[in-house]
Structure 1
Amino acid sequence: MPTVHVNDVDLYYEEAGDPRGPVVLLVMGLATQLIAWPDPLIAALVDAGYRVVRYDNRDVGLSTRLDGTPALHPLWVLGASRLRMPFPLAYTLRDMAADAVALLDALGVERAHVVGASMGGMIAQHIAAGWRERVESLTTIMSSSGAPGLPPPSPALMRRLVMRWPATPSRDEAVAATIATLALISHPEAARDVEALALQATRAVDRGHYPVGGRRQLAAIIADTGRPVLLTHIVAPTLVIHGAVDPLIPLGHGEDLARRIEGAKLLIVQAMAHDLAPAALPEVTSGLLDHLAGSAPATGSPISARAVR
């Protein structure tokens, strides 16, 4: 099993493509494993000549689980944050960014195109701001600056984020809960096989179900209030990709993020919620490949793809 030991954790990672090609580092989101990156996206990057590195963040999948460290209920963390009360953290998003950079070190990679989805986009922001010499380009997908006043998740998703779950759910309970969450964040479309969400949920649960790690990651997100200032330090060419109908991190987050990063481009994908669904994937892939190659702005209508100053 390919792992590296960095920053007192073991990170599971996988590679694909030409080992001599430019590196694309894929950073996944909250409580989500590396298998969530769609195979067609990986294949397109490999076909374009890239060396693709993806990994499980700490506390998820096959990487180290931080058992015994603080894992507060989200409601408690949200309340403490709103009252500006300190609360214990197992780690920060910057710690998770340092993991990613240490992984690149272990693989002998000096510079990489960094692509992050959701929380992974937040981690990628830290990498691009804190390790500027290591980042060839930055792409964030369905992510946020974390600035105050941005639109909240849908009420249904907010309720789900703060629900109390069984301490030790059965496999069937875990699969059912994962399907329900995926159904809330995903874009409904005929292009997706009717069993796709069930297969995705089952695969994730069987590979590495660990919801308590998600609590610690969510606490790190809530505590990370300084990113709006951090974004002013990003100098890498940046593409912000966001779904027009994202119920978890609404479109306003992507628009705000692109405004805050100097010279960033914004690609709005109409048929995209908070997942990389089949109907959205061609436009996401095309936009990403154009950005990585340093070519013209991502293709699309003047409304769905535009430069943001």
Structure 2
Amino acid sequence: MTEEIADVGRGISLAYERIGDAGAEPLVLVAGLGQQLHGWPDAFCAQLAGRGYEVVRFDNRDAGRSTHPRFRPPNLLAMLAGRFPPQQYDLRDMAADTAGLLDALELGSAHIAGVSMGGMIAQTVAALYPDRVRTLTSIMSTTGSRLIGRPALSTWRMMGGKPPRSRDEAVEGAVRMFRHIGSHGFPFDEAWVRETAGKGWDRDPSAGGVGRQLAAIMKSGNRTPLLRTITAPALVIHGDRDRMVHPTGGAATARAIPGARLETVRGMGHDLPEGAWSTVLDLIDEHARSSDVPAP
């Protein structure tokens, strides 16, 4: 795994890694809100590569070592009122970043899997760039409707805290959050959370990116009509114990995308616990292999 930087157009550069054999079936993994490329665990990606994929994972804009705009993010009240600064991007812009990464890597199309906000981005790529998506896998994500897929009230309270001011605060905050929203049906891997949060701080200690990414989600609104235009074979994966995106979000996503299949992973919350990997890996792999979409 060697980290590289790609110019994806419109003044945006994305940090990415490729894992697996060059020329294998390309599978692009899109990270969630505030997460960086290593939020997709190394061993999880290695197991996907071992199944015959070239895995691409990357930092979205405003995360990790990718481009960070410098405008101040709107506060939550402004977002809820629909007031955004003129520079504010949305999920369509982030989908264009992903398509631009495919261009930079000379990939005509790929299997796309996204988690949480990454699922929203992956959905939008499939809707706007149908020729670029062989299959879509949307994990623990939702449609943008305010009526479903909402965080638990306890999660909202935790999200309202001040951003970390040090590496130690970032690590301890991640442990508290993932103890809350993580998969209560599986063992909690505190060591991995601490390692990942510390590495994230070392790569990107900036505070504004999460707020701007959240604003991108809010600005995009209800994407249900857009999801109805998706033609790629679609798989929706959701845990039944998700306190960040209620399982109604996954169910609504599957209803909105024509022909989509919903798979519920019992005990899984808003993370990818190692105990659920075999199930999730099998689902992604079987979905990609069952597609009859030819490579361009």
> When the two structures are superposed, what TM-score results if normalisation uses the length of structure 1?
0.88
2: CA distance, partners of 1:191 / 1:177: 19
8 A Cα contact 2:34 2:209, kept in partner = yes
1:160 and 2:158 correspond: yes
Q: 1:262 aligns with which of 258, 262, 283?
A: 258
What percent of counterpart residues are identical?
Answer: 40
Deviation at 1:284, TM superposition (A): 0.7
**Residue aligning to 1:126:** 124
Q: 1:53 aligns with which of 53, 56, 68?
A: 56
1:213 and 2:215 correspond: no
8 A Cα contact 2:149 2:250, kept in partner = no
1: CA distance, partners of 2:202 / 2:47: 27
Deviation at 1:231, TM superposition (A): 0.6
Residues 148-186 of structure 1, C-alpha deviations (whole Å, 9 max, x = no match): 3114211121112233336xx122222222222222221
- What secondary structure does 1:71 align onto? coil
1: CA distance, partners of 2:281 / 2:137: 12
Ranges in structure 1 where 5+ consecutive residues have no aligned partner = 296-309
8 A Cα contact 1:137 1:292, kept in partner = yes
Flag the 1:163–1:140 CA change in 2: closer, same or farther, 3 A.
Answer: same
Ranges in structure 2 where 5+ consecutive residues have no aligned partner = 292-296
Q: Matches of residues 31-180 of structure 1 in structure 2 within 5 Å?
A: 31-67=34-70, 69-78=71-80, 80-81=81-82, 88-165=86-163, 169-180=165-176
How many equivalent residue pairs?
Answer: 289
Q: 1:13 aligns with which of 4, 13, 16?
A: 16
**Residue aligning to 1:238:** 234
1: CA distance, partners of 2:56 / 2:163: 33
Amino acid paired to 1:2: E
Deviation at 1:39, TM superposition (A): 2.3
Flag the 1:289–1:151 CA change in 2: closer, same or farther, 3 A.
Answer: closer
- What secondary structure does 1:233 align onto? coil
Flag the 1:192–1:160 CA change in 2: closer, same or farther, 3 A.
Answer: closer
2: CA distance, partners of 1:127 / 1:227: 12
Deviates more, 1:238-247 or 1:172-181: 172-181
Flag the 1:192–1:216 CA change in 2: closer, same or farther, 3 A.
Answer: same
Deviation at 1:86, TM superposition (A): 5.8
> When the two structures are superposed, what TM-score results if normalisation uses the length of structure 2?
0.92
**Residue aligning to 1:247:** 243
2: CA distance, partners of 1:17 / 1:56: 18
Deviation at 1:88, TM superposition (A): 4.2
Deviates more, 1:33-42 or 1:228-237: 33-42
1: CA distance, partners of 2:186 / 2:22: 37
CA RMSD of aligned residues (A): 1.9
- What secondary structure does 1:195 align onto? helix
Residues 257-290 of structure 1, C-alpha deviations (whole Å, 9 max, x = no match): 0011111011100020000011221111111111
